[in-house]
Structure 1
């Protein structure tokens, strides 16, 4: 997967994501606090960000988000990857949100989503909130969701099918920004 991408200059990140100086500085401060001043966030540090905000076990979900942010597969998230990931999750552009949501589902990076990936993401999401298996059965919900997205019934969800599903079920994008107040 190669080494770290070259750092994108502040101005370029600000222009790409319409960030004010204050927003950029706020992201830099959040990154610095969580990385303990280092230039990269480890998976363990990334988990801590989620663990402090949710009542359940955040490990699996944080790991999935970490893998989305770690675009070069280096095992760490640098500041540029952090800003891009955060900004895509918060973007006004639905396409940015679709891209990161698809990446979140497609944990094996195969370019398509299978039933196990849908189930695993829903389980990780439920774990964030400490949801009991008696309340919500992730396998049942995953099967229903998968069947709704798999338009051609080939047991695989392509990016095109996922995009179409998001336009019909916009709540799918809520998975990329779980609200601890839920």
Structure 2
């Protein structure tokens, strides 16, 4: 379950071995120097080697000072916390950064799918999408009125994306729908545009 990062078995301690650097570089696509740089910064901010949800939300809220970021941050945190341990270790952090930093829209959309698939059953149901839309509206300080409500956005998304009409989105439907529709891609995965 969770994101298949390929590095879930890698346990990095407070210091990086040369083999850790080589493996993390291969997994993330970052140069060995960049891996070391990220690790130094991570350990400075998280001396225990773990980033807990509270600290993650505290840091993330700085990017959205006018919105309510807590709920959205919880969904992002869950998507980053591959092993559901309640904290993000350096390997999970680095893989998440590499996914969100890369240019390949499909990879970003795969990660976005994992965030929206709250129960991790391989599908996004309307109730899951509604929870995320509520969190996005809170994050951005969006007013809920007229045709601008989370439920209407969810209905529009499912009308456009649910190709087989089964009331849930598979990863393929989600990715295909976002790649074919600029509006949906910007709404659901802004960094994949």
TM-score range, shorter chain: 0.7 to 0.9
Contact 1:112/1:158 (<8 A) preserved: yes
TM-score (norm 1): 0.84
Q: Which has the higher strand share?
A: 2
The alpha-carbon deviation at position 17 of structure 1 amounts to: 2.8
Aligned mates of 2:123, 2:56 — CA distance in 1: 25
2:185 aligns with: 172
Task: Say if 2:11 is the partner of 1:7.
Answer: yes
Which of 126-135 and 63-72 deviates more? 126-135
Match of 2:34 among 10, 18, 23: 23
The question of whether the paired residues in 1 share the 8 Å contact of 2:78 and 2:84 is answered with yes
Q: Is there any run of 5+ residues in structure 1 with no aligned partner, and where?
A: none
1:45 maps to 2:55: yes
Partners of 2:73 and 2:180 lie apart in 1 by 27
- Give 1:71-90 correspondences, 5 Å limit: 71-90=82-101
For the residues of structure 2 that align with 1:114 and 1:12, how far apart are their CA atoms?
Answer: 35
Report the Cα offset of residue 80 of structure 1.
0.3
Aligned partners of 1:34 and 1:45 also within 8 Å: no
Q: After superposition, give the CA deviation of every residue in 1:158-180 in whole Å (9 maximum; x if it has no partner).
A: 111112112212552664567xx
Matched, 1:157 2:161: no
Contact 1:89 1:177 in 2 (8 A): no
The secondary structure found in structure 2 opposite 1:157 is strand
Counterpart contact for 1:34–1:49, Cα < 8 Å = no
Find the aligned partners of 2:41 and 2:139 in 1 and give their Cα distance. Answer: 21
Superposed, 1:137-156 pairs within 5 Å as 137-156=149-168
SS class of match (2:138): helix
**Does structure 1 conserve the Cα–Cα contact (< 8 Å) formed by 2:28 and 2:94?**
no
Cα distance in 2 for residues equivalent to 1:10 and 1:149? 40
CA RMSD of aligned residues (A): 2.3
| Structure number, greater radius of gyration | 2
Q: CA deviation at 1:132?
A: 2.0
